[in-house]
Structure 1
Amino acid sequence: MKKLNYLLLFVFASLFFACSSEDEEPKLVEKDVTIEVEMGGDYYDYLVTFTVHSMLSGTSTFVAPQLVEPSSLAWTQVVEQGNTYSLTYEPSMSIIEVQSSSDIHSLGFVFNTVPLEREPDESLEFLTATIQVLADGEVYKEYSYEALPSGETSIPVSESITIY
């Protein structure tokens, strides 16, 4: 009987430690999110595509992103059922800024460019971009992008982010 008590104690202790809170994922937090893209180089010689998708709050409520800059433009394609908002344009200013219309816990975005000139131009300064995701005004994640010459395929920045 004594051996059975020790065995039961061992089993319960093992289960207790196996179910400890250290193994749990951090709890999702909802924050006001802003995405800021700062472009450099000859950005006006490129066609820029920026897409925001999967902005979510609660269990799975879609949240619409608001295009703040460039203020003179609107989203060029909106698929509300898919929570996808795209902007494709020839930039005249170096900034794109998007804000969540309410607090969110996750989002996804894609940033990519294509040179407008089809022939390689030695004098072209390639577009670069720094993409910052801010949560409640603090930098949460930061990404870098560099366009490749005409004829080569640039690798887009494509990220899905969960806020903890």
Structure 2
Amino acid sequence: MRNLNYLFLIAITIFFVSCSSENEEPKLVEKIVTIEVEMEGNYTDYMVTFSVHSMLSGTSTFVAPVLDQPTELNWTQVIEQGNSYTLSFEPEVPTISATSSAPIHSLGLVFNAVYLGGETDDSFQPLSATVNVLADGEVYRQFEYEALAPGEVSVPLAEEITF
């Protein structure tokens, strides 16, 4: 009888261990996300490309970003089927901002700047930028971007973020 009690206890333990949540997918955290880009240096001498892609909610629902700043511009390229929104322009103001139109759990972003040409002098400062990704108003991630010297091939900042 004593062995039967031990076997019963082992069987219950195995049952509870096998029902644990190890195999369950972690729940996705969804937040309203804002991407803010603050540029410095001679940013008006550059062609800037800012792209937001793969904004997802739920299992795989596309969410569109809303371009908040510059207010007078719209996305220059929108591919809704690919959930890709791109803004290419010569900046007149140092700020770019886009916000998710609904809570999301992941996104991708690309930022790049290409010098438009012309003569530079000793006072020329290449474009630099700080890219902040805010989740529900709090800075979640921060990235730094430095444009290369005029005449060199630029290297984009490309990031994938999951909350």
**TM-score, normalization by structure 2:** 0.84
Q: Is 1:105 the counterpart of 2:105 in the alignment? A: yes
Q: Give the Cα separation in 2 of the matches to 1:32 and 1:116.
A: 35
Question: Which runs of 5 or more structure 2 residues have no equivalent in the other structure?
Answer: none
% identity of equivalent residues:
60
Q: Distance in 2 between matches of 1:162 and 1:103?
A: 12
CA contact (8 A) 1:146 1:154 kept: no
CA offsets 1:30-61 (integer angstroms, 9 cap, x no match): 11100000000000000000000000111111
Structure 2 CA distance for aligned equivalents of residues 144 and 24 of structure 1: 36
Maintained 8 Å contact 2:107/2:161: yes
Q: Are 1:67 and 1:97, in contact at CA under 8 Å, matched by a contact in 2?
A: yes
The aligned residue for residue 70 of structure 2 is 70
Change (3 A) 1:27 1:116: same
The within-5 A match list for 1:27-66 is: 27-66=27-66
Q: Which runs of 5+ in 1 are unaligned?
A: none
Moved over 2 A (4+): 18-27, 118-124
Relative distance call for 1:124 and 1:20 in structure 2 (3 A) is: farther
Contact 2:108 2:160 in 1 (8 A): yes
SS of residue paired to 1:126: coil
Answer yes or no: is 1:117 the counterpart of 2:117: yes
Could you tell me how far apart the structure 1 residues matched to 2:162 and 2:38 are?
22
- RMSD of Structure 2 on Structure 1 (CA): 2.8
- Is the radius of gyration larger for structure 1 or structure 2? 2
1:63/1:83 contact within 8 Å kept: yes
Tell me the amino acid that sits aligned with residue 31 of structure 1.
Answer: K
Mapped contact 2:115–2:151 kept (Cα < 8 A): no
